[in-house]
Structure 1
Amino acid sequence: MGADRAAFVGIEQVGRDVGTSVTGDGAQVHGGSGHQINGGLTFILTESGEIHRRTSQRALTADQLARLKDRFIEPPGYWQAKSKLGESSRTVLLSGKPGSGRRSTALMLLYNSATPDAQFRELPVETDEEEKDSLDPESVQPGERLLLDMSAEERPEKFRSVQAKLESLRGAVVVNEGALVVVLPPDPDHLLLPEFSRLHVPIGRPSGKAVLDKCLKVDHVEFTEQELDHENLKEHLADAALRDLDRLCQRILEAKHANSSGCFVDWVERACEAFAKHGKQVAGQIRESSAPQRAIVLAAAMLKDSHADSVQAAAKSLLTRLEYPEEEKHVLERDGLDDVLRSVKVVPNNSRKVAFDAISYENAVRNHFWANFPELRDSLRDWVGDCVGALDLADDDCDRLVVRFAEQARRAGRINDLCVLAEQWTKQADRQRRPPRSARWAAAALAHGLGQMSSPSAAGDIRKKIYEWAAQPSLTVHLAQVLVSVCAEVMAETHPDQAVVRLRLLASHNAQEVAGAAKSAVSNLAQDNRFYRRFLWWMNSWLTQQSRTSDADLFLATSDPQRLLDTSSRSAALITNRTVQRQLVVGWRVVFMREVDGWLERVEEWLVASRAGEPGSLLLNVLVESTEGELAKLGALHVSSRDWAAAGPDGEERAVRQRTYRELARKIDAAQGLQLSDVKGTGRC
């Protein structure tokens, strides 16, 4: 409900010791070693800044969309849109007022129309220099569910140019039995071309009472129907945006956890008080506070639930960053830390962890500083950089700082601040010649910029910056390594095309450890057949149009023959698809031409796999066809297979290999138009 960003595709499971886990909005997922960050994501960060997904691809897709489904209330117009999507056009265009749940509705339409093995993909509005057009109809895969979110698009010319490409894209969706939902800007009628007007369905805002009722019940909050009619809730239920109702539900949960012995009315009153009064209360408090008090208030808001000593250290760091004169009083003449904290309504508990005495007060404090002191935003960013990179804060404290700073960067329209910090923290790693703690937070900052809480345009800005970085072969090693993880484990979740484009650039990095990591990341992603199909589509374009030296290496690294023969998740092996065969021929052709390191070992793997009946024989066809009949290449293939056959470890294995060798020899003869070699395979020897 109301979650305007939702993830589509996850990546892989983790089986190692980890440092930090970054989890979804309000989710409580963490259960192993490491630390948890709540901010719209589900990742684990290792000490070196690598990001790994906690769950498998299909499980994550089901978890996230199922969570939305549990909280979703169909808005007015939903069933009309569902019917439209089910028609032969397989396309619907949604519009509605901001806060009506347009994106959530689009996701549920796609989710409810999908088969169990369907892939979900979001199409970006913008593409970078080396990316294909995201609306290219050739990119559509069988059964794909596609989302194009243009709800924030304000350029009429861009909207018109997208419509010009939609017809061919829609045709490909129909051919591939997929589905396409486009989320339009508000009031789009004057911009829609006539041929798309019939596909347009406006939606309304669902009942606020029904939405809150369902969410509270899913979160196991007990209440009566009469209690939901509480006077304090009426204004929210009448016209609040769905995302605000989601926040209200979270506030009620917080109030329940803070006072479990209370009743629903008590929790509602405290939650609504947090919404209604905190802004004014904070403004009044800040007005009456000295500079050191303001620093301690902000530090406590950024580090709520951290140790009081960490708050004091962060406040001192802020005053230093702002060049505030140091207090002249001797430390023994000053107020004690607890007195200072209580003077600004911050209360340490028995474990010395700090919190404000009102629910969500810290949120209002953070919002106040970023909204009312714009001239301090650069300094606040640098202060967070100091705290994470220089202060001796605990890992949990750094977690909180990063996620809360990311929230303010998004609110203030300064998403690039996350990139500034990521670059700063990885420079510290390079100076120390080892990946320190700060490299982890660089990854976390970029992950939050790409996460589901960011607007499409803000996440697009992060992707653009990552592209600019990835295109630099001499980019600092630790930043490049962070980018590999972020692309593979975060960006690939919703934008696999953009992720593979950037990983391809990183595979050309001057540092071997970076290039190798990028190749491994692509190879891991390619374990999913759907991703591999898209990768082959990209690789075919790169190798025939704008090839890089590393492209053939990347192709070879992903060309596991077992993947091509696997039928565990599909009715027929990939190698039986003629389009896949043609794409593989293009890749092997370049491998043979450039004599890429490792080609012989991979050929031998293909020879072993070719024993798998008729599909296996197709592997040999690809190898032979990729030589284009050139004698030198055919000769190299023949000699390598002959030597492989002769090198069997025992007589039985050598006999099996000889049969494979003779089959390949016959195909090589046929490629040259020669008479087939004799059954013993001696005709070519």
Structure 2
Amino acid sequence: MTGPGHTCVNDPQGAVHSGSGNQFVVTNWLIGANERLVRAGATRLRVVQEYRRRLAQCFVPPRHYGKAAERLNNPGAVVLLNGPSGSGRRAAATMLLEGAAAPGSRIEELPLRWEEDSLDASVGDCYLLDLSGVSDSEYPEAQRSLMHYGAITEQSGARLVAVLPAGQEWMLDRALSPLVVQLERPRGRAVFARCLRVNRVPFEPEQLDTEVLARMFSTSPMRELARLADLVVRARDSHQYGNGFEAWCVGAVAAVTDASDAVVRQLRDHRGGLDRALLLTAAMTSGAAAEAVLSGALRLLEVLRHERDDTPRLAQTGLGEQLRALAISRDGDGWVSFAQLDYDSAVRRHFWQNFPDLRPAFRDWVGRCMELSELRGEDRMRLVARFAEQALATGRPDDLCVLARRWTHPDAGGKLRPEAAAVLELGLSHDQYGSHLRSRVYGWVTAGPLPEDLARVLTDVCQQVMAATHPEQAVVRLRHLAVRQAGAEAAAARAAVLTLARGNRFLFRRLAMRLVNAGLSSPRNADILLDLLDPTDLRIQPPWREFTLGWRVVMNAMAAEVWTPVVQRWLSALEQRRGGNRVLHALLLAAAGDDLLLNRLYVATRAWAGQSPPGPPQVSPTRCRFREEIAERFCREIDLVQGVDEAGPGPDPQCTTESI
């Protein structure tokens, strides 16, 4: 399908997302004791990996998929997928790259527009470029980006799969035509059946032989068939829609095919402002307390400046009767819901689709609902997810940005940072508008200092959400935050970008070069670069070219007393058999040609050799001898670089120290 693919889950342990925008799963955002936003549960990377595993379980290859896979076998291959809307192009692209990628490697999605050298590919890297959502006016520029990406992919031996927009074949540049593979729609029945089997829904093949299902199998997009399977699972698990597949399927089909018409009929019978406000509020807060529904409805009428009913409240209809008249259920604990499966989704869609002039007001209303005391934290998160679903479905991704800015404004007092993080996560994770949200975030972090709460939210979102699928873009944004913010916010962004780069050679290389290019002109960049070069928390062998260039910048930009402790920590790492001789060679190359820097290296090495090594006293003599061997070897190499005779005495440490 042309959405995020369809997913079916075997032994689900939590919420399941099996559609393309009809269900949002919001990871809980909590404020820990250290007052930083942290995500509860799995990291975003694990969520992405689990999604792809689920996709593989119920993926049905479209026709000509094998042709695309064969082409992608070759390093440097570029494959362009075309096909009708809803035929599974993005899912096919993801599965093609999964099949071509090395075990444990990432599939990185590229931005639609070229951004800050956004592709530094190497052999074996896998990239996805989704152009399915671009308009006619955007397509020429998108093709230029595609050609740029394709050239780099071919030169580097990486692999690239691009999803082309449906129906725009006539606009495709002729030079790209040989790279196109035309996919055809997979069998809808096979997709639906596989989703059911993966979810362990018992059914007989002949139970799928209904007229309604046959029509859906032949015409519905794959995302709708995935949604239908998900609704069957929900009907089964709710124990409210019968005890067998036929009953579950009837409820699911009704939710897909009849719910919208049912909403139209209901609104035709309820034209009053309060009734409609109650209906929309109940759909947006389903699962919350009835009192929250009433408060939210009244707040909506205020935002819309709806004329108030002057009838005394005691003379008006009670809340319970109002809810019953709208077919809104209230259980024994007071939580509201709708009897018909997925009816709340149909209500939400109806209001956003049929009242386009009220969409800005709906956004402002959702923002103000966060103040309602009747809403619990989980209610607010569900409200955020449902709002984001509708805003994105109607092409209004900037509404998410508006609320994120409001919820992190100093006037909000930091209380709504989790909601701001959640709404940004939903936008960044969206297939069609994720690139737009990433561009908005980039604009924020490069514009100058941000409000403290917004900076903290962006730091967490970049590190934990964006980095899972767009790690280099996350590093770019975190570096800007670390440089442009102040105080605790700058420190948090700095820690986040270093955490990412210290565990990935590619990110280390990219961050190091950005810092090298800016290091001499910005003390903050030099400070971050020195932290990056520190072995203390490094989890990889650093890329030696960038490591050497980084040390050259640090040694020239900073006082010796600042970088000397880091050099000595590298010598200690060498003592523990970490790093090898390449560290010494890199340090020598960084200082080569500058006798003053070489003298400082010599002094730092001699001072380190004279320190007592850590550890039990009984092993200290051995450690001391090993330290002396390392120091002698390094100092001898420094002498050779300076042209000092190997047999002659080295520079006097005391004299050199005084010269510094």
Report the more deviating stretch, 336-345 or 146-155. 146-155
Q: Tell which has more relative contact order, 1 or 2 (C-alpha 8 A, sep 6+).
A: 1
Q: What is the match of residue 396 of structure 1?
A: 378
The TM-score normalised by the length of structure 2 is 0.89
SS of alignment partner, residue 63 of structure 2:
coil
Q: What is the match of residue 545 of structure 2?
A: 582
Give the aligned CA root-mean-square deviation in angstroms.
Answer: 2.9
Q: What is the match of residue 31 of structure 2?
A: 46
**Letter paired with 2:59:** F
Following superposition, the deviation at residue 292 of structure 1 comes to 0.7
Q: Are residues 539 and 193 of structure 1, via their aligned partners in 2, closer, same or farther at CA, if it must alter by over 3 Å?
A: same
Q: What is the match of residue 32 of structure 1?
A: none
Q: What is the match of residue 642 of structure 1?
A: 606
- Alignment check: 8 A CA contact 1:51 1:485 kept: yes
Q: Are residues 542 and 57 of structure 1, via their aligned partners in 2, closer, same or farther at CA, if it must alter by over 3 Å?
A: same
Distance 2:632 2:371 in 1: 63
Distance 1:541 1:269 in 2: 58
- Alignment check: 8 A CA contact 1:237 1:245 kept: yes
Q: Are residues 235 and 292 of structure 1, via their aligned partners in 2, closer, same or farther at CA, if it must alter by over 3 Å?
A: same
Find 1:501's aligned residue among 450, 453, 476. Answer: 476
Find 1:450's aligned residue among 420, 425, 428. Answer: 428
Q: Alpha-carbon deviations, 1:298-324, whole Å to 9, x = none?
A: 110001111212212211221222233
**Letter paired with 2:604:** S
Following superposition, the deviation at residue 403 of structure 1 comes to 0.2
Following superposition, the deviation at residue 4 of structure 1 comes to 2.2
**Aligned counterparts, 1:88-487, within 5 A:** 89-128=76-115, 131-132=116-117, 134=118, 136=119, 139-153=120-134, 154=136, 155-174=138-157, 178-187=158-167, 189-193=169-173, 196-258=176-238, 259=240, 261-289=242-270, 290-389=272-371, 391-427=373-409, 430-431=410-411, 435-436=414-415, 438-451=416-429, 454-456=430-432, 458-487=433-462
Distance 1:363 1:644 in 2: 67
Distance 1:114 1:38 in 2: 29
SS of alignment partner, residue 147 of structure 1:
strand
Distance 1:51 1:561 in 2: 26
Find 1:655's aligned residue among 619, 622, 625. Answer: 625
Following superposition, the deviation at residue 343 of structure 1 comes to 1.0
Report the more deviating stretch, 467-476 or 604-613. 604-613
**Letter paired with 1:603:** V
SS of alignment partner, residue 580 of structure 2:
helix
- Alignment check: 8 A CA contact 2:108 2:126 kept: yes
Find 2:574's aligned residue among 601, 607, 610. Answer: 610
Distance 1:261 1:307 in 2: 27
Structure 2 unaligned segments of length 5 or more: list them. 8-12, 655-660
Distance 2:4 2:330 in 1: 35
Distance 1:173 1:40 in 2: 37
The TM-score normalised by the length of structure 1 is 0.86
Q: What is the match of residue 10 of structure 1?
A: none
Q: What is the match of residue 58 of structure 2?
A: 71
Following superposition, the deviation at residue 26 of structure 1 comes to 5.4
Following superposition, the deviation at residue 481 of structure 1 comes to 0.7
Distance 1:677 1:185 in 2: 72
Q: Are residues 425 and 677 of structure 1, via their aligned partners in 2, closer, same or farther at CA, if it must alter by over 3 Å?
A: farther
- Alignment check: 8 A CA contact 1:23 1:38 kept: no
Distance 2:647 2:313 in 1: 95
- Alignment check: 8 A CA contact 2:605 2:631 kept: yes
Q: What is the match of residue 31 of structure 1?
A: none
Find 1:533's aligned residue among 506, 515, 523. Answer: 506
- Alignment check: 8 A CA contact 2:195 2:229 kept: yes
Q: Alpha-carbon deviations, 1:591-647, whole Å to 9, x = none?
A: 122217853332222111123559422112112211233122222222222222222
- Alignment check: 8 A CA contact 1:25 1:41 kept: no
Would you say 1:665 and 2:635 are equivalent positions?
yes
Would you say 1:514 and 2:486 are equivalent positions?
no
Find 2:69's aligned residue among 82, 86, 111. Answer: 82
Q: What is the match of residue 13 of structure 1?
A: none
Q: Are residues 581 and 24 of structure 1, via their aligned partners in 2, closer, same or farther at CA, if it must alter by over 3 Å?
A: farther
Q: Alpha-carbon deviations, 1:180-213, whole Å to 9, x = none?
A: 2121223565444555433321101100000000
Structure 1 unaligned segments of length 5 or more: list them. 8-20, 28-36, 567-573
Following superposition, the deviation at residue 411 of structure 1 comes to 1.2
Following superposition, the deviation at residue 512 of structure 1 comes to 1.7
**Letter paired with 2:630:** T
**Letter paired with 1:277:** D
Q: Alpha-carbon deviations, 1:202-255, whole Å to 9, x = none?
A: 101100000000001111111100001122212111110011111111221222
Q: Are residues 527 and 67 of structure 1, via their aligned partners in 2, closer, same or farther at CA, if it must alter by over 3 Å?
A: farther
Following superposition, the deviation at residue 172 of structure 1 comes to 3.0
Distance 1:490 1:198 in 2: 36
**Aligned counterparts, 1:22-61, within 5 A:** 25=17, 39=24, 44-46=29-31, 48=35, 50-52=37-39, 54-55=41-42, 59-61=46-48
Report the more deviating stretch, 231-240 or 282-291. 282-291
Distance 1:444 1:467 in 2: 18
Distance 1:251 1:150 in 2: 29
Following superposition, the deviation at residue 536 of structure 1 comes to 1.4
SS of alignment partner, residue 226 of structure 1:
helix
Q: Alpha-carbon deviations, 1:551-582, whole Å to 9, x = none?
A: 2222222334377685xxxxxxx35xxxx211
Q: What is the match of residue 530 of structure 2?
A: 556
Q: Are residues 562 and 119 of structure 1, via their aligned partners in 2, closer, same or farther at CA, if it must alter by over 3 Å?
A: farther
Q: Are residues 60 and 365 of structure 1, via their aligned partners in 2, closer, same or farther at CA, if it must alter by over 3 Å?
A: closer
Distance 2:592 2:43 in 1: 40
- Alignment check: 8 A CA contact 2:86 2:223 kept: yes
SS of alignment partner, residue 160 of structure 2:
strand
Find 1:625's aligned residue among 580, 589, 592. Answer: 589
Distance 2:148 2:595 in 1: 44
SS of alignment partner, residue 626 of structure 1:
helix
Following superposition, the deviation at residue 59 of structure 1 comes to 4.8
- Alignment check: 8 A CA contact 2:188 2:217 kept: yes
**Letter paired with 1:647:** Q
Distance 1:56 1:272 in 2: 34
Following superposition, the deviation at residue 432 of structure 1 comes to 6.3
Distance 2:191 2:650 in 1: 73
Following superposition, the deviation at residue 333 of structure 1 comes to 2.8
Distance 2:475 2:434 in 1: 16
% identical aligned pairs: 32
Distance 2:50 2:124 in 1: 20
Distance 2:570 2:421 in 1: 37
Q: Are residues 563 and 93 of structure 1, via their aligned partners in 2, closer, same or farther at CA, if it must alter by over 3 Å?
A: farther
- Alignment check: 8 A CA contact 1:163 1:193 kept: no
SS of alignment partner, residue 62 of structure 2:
coil
SS of alignment partner, residue 198 of structure 1:
helix
- Alignment check: 8 A CA contact 1:22 1:45 kept: no
**Letter paired with 1:591:** V
Find 2:554's aligned residue among 591, 601, 608. Answer: 591
